[in-house]
């Protein structure tokens, strides 16, 4: 759907989406390999449940990398929406980036430590890394959603048609942060209560899918939002600013910065 409608996007953005698609495919391959090993190849052999396979741990790296890229993308959006408020446009993205790097570091650190510890029982020694990763992810996603919604609220014009588009954009922002935050909280809680029952793994396997699809959903929604913004503009609302998105190799012009909201 994205590549059917991305003709105006820059090469960098399109390459980024291709790279995320490759990461998502690798993640699916690692997850499928791990599940096949436990449920098919080693069916009935309960001893294999004592240790994680290499694929289960490898997908943690892929998940953290794709999540870092998506959060970085949303951090750029926050920066653009800040417009002329340059200090805010620097502080918020920097905080989101630092939190994202923290999630990435703790997540990869836990996976690396788990390769050394080798068994699920011993992996509890590095559980603090997993707790820190989940907790920081919740804070980062919440900050992204709150920042986008706050900046969009401040862009309201008082015109019903314009504000309805802003409301839809706010809904996308809330859904993006809320869904991923709930998933991260669920991982945190289930791991804290049932660390040896692997319930948190089932949720964690889907976490990277939520991030990638939240990004793709917001990009694919641009065409319908643009058509609505064009209708509003043609209706003669002189206070309306068209809703656009940076297109040319992610190099944001001043016009794009002033009109960015999608």
Per residue in 162-192, pLDDT tens? Answer: 556 666 666 766 766 678 888 888 888 898 8
> Helix, strand, coil shares of the chain as percentages rounded to 5?
80, 0, 20
Rounded-to-integer distance, Cα 32 and Cα 5, Å? 31
Which single residue is written with the structure tokens 């502080």? 91
| Spatial contact of 242 and 261, defined as CB atoms under 8 Å apart | no
Asked if residue 89 lies in contact with residue 252, where contact means CB atoms within 8 angstroms, the answer is no
Residue with tokens 């436990």, as numbered in its chain: 38
- Tell me if residue 119 falls in helix, strand or coil: coil
Q: Residue 67 in contact with residue 137, Cβ under 8 Å? A: yes
Q: What pLDDT does residue 98 have?
A: 95
pLDDT tens-digit readout, 125-146: 888 998 899 899 989 988 888 8
pLDDT at 147: 83
Burial tier of 231 (Cβ tally within 10 Å: 0-12, 13-18, 19+): exposed
Length of the chain: 262
Cα-Cα-Cα-Cα torsion 153, 154, 157, 159, nearest 10 degrees, comes to: 10
pLDDT of residue 252: 37
* pLDDT confidence of residue 6: 77
Q: How far apart are alpha carbons 31 and 60 in whole angstroms? A: 10
The tens-digit pLDDT sequence of the chain (262 residues) is 888 877 778 889 899 999 999 999 999 999 999 999 999 999 988 888 888 899 999 999 999 999 999 999 989 888 888 877 778 788 889 999 999 999 999 999 999 999 998 888 888 888 899 889 989 998 998 888 888 777 777 665 555 655 566 666 667 667 666 788 888 888 888 988 887 788 888 898 988 898 898 888 878 877 666 665 555 555 554 444 444 444 343 433 334 444 444 4
H or E element at residue 53: none
DSSP code of 51?
S
Strand-pairing partners, residue 260, are 244
The Cα–Cα gap between 50 and 212 comes to: 31
Nearest Cα to Cα of residue 241 among 256, 221, 251, 222: 256
How many other C-beta atoms are found inside a 10 Å radius of the C-beta of residue 44? 5
User: Which pLDDT score is estimated for 244?
Assistant: 41
């Amino acid at each position: 759907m994205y590549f059917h409608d991305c003709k105006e996007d820059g090469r960098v953005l399109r390459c980024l989406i291709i790279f995320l698609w490759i990461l998502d495919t690798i993640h699916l391959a690692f997850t499928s390999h791990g599940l096949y090993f436990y449920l098919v190849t080693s069916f009935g052999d309960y001893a294999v449940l004592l240790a994680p396979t290499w694929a289960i741990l490898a997908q943690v790296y892929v998940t953290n990398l794709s999540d870092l890229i998506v959060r970085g993308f949303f951090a750029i959006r926050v920066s653009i929406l800040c417009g002329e408020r340059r200090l805010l446009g620097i502080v918020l993205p920097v905080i989101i980036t630092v939190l994202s790097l923290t999630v990435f570091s703790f997540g990869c650190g836990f996976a690396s430590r788990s390769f050394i510890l080798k068994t699920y029982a011993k992996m509890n020694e590095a559980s603090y890394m997993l707790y820190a990763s989940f907790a920081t992810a919740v804070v980062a996603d919440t900050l992204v959603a709150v920042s986008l919604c706050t900046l969009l609220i401040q862009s309201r014009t008082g015109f019903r048609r314009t504000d309805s588009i802003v409301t839809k954009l706010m809904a996308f922002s809330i859904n993006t942060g809320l869904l991923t935050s709930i998933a991260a909280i669920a991982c945190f809680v289930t791991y804290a209560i049932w660390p040896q029952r692997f319930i948190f793994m089932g949720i964690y396997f889907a976490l990277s899918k939520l991030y990638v699809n939240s990004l793709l959903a917001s990009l694919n929604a641009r065409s319908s939002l643009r058509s609505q913004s064009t209708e509003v503009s043609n209706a003669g609302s002189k206070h309306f600013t068209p809703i656009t998105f940076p297109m040319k190799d992610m190099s944001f012009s001043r016009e794009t910065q002033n009109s960015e909201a999608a």
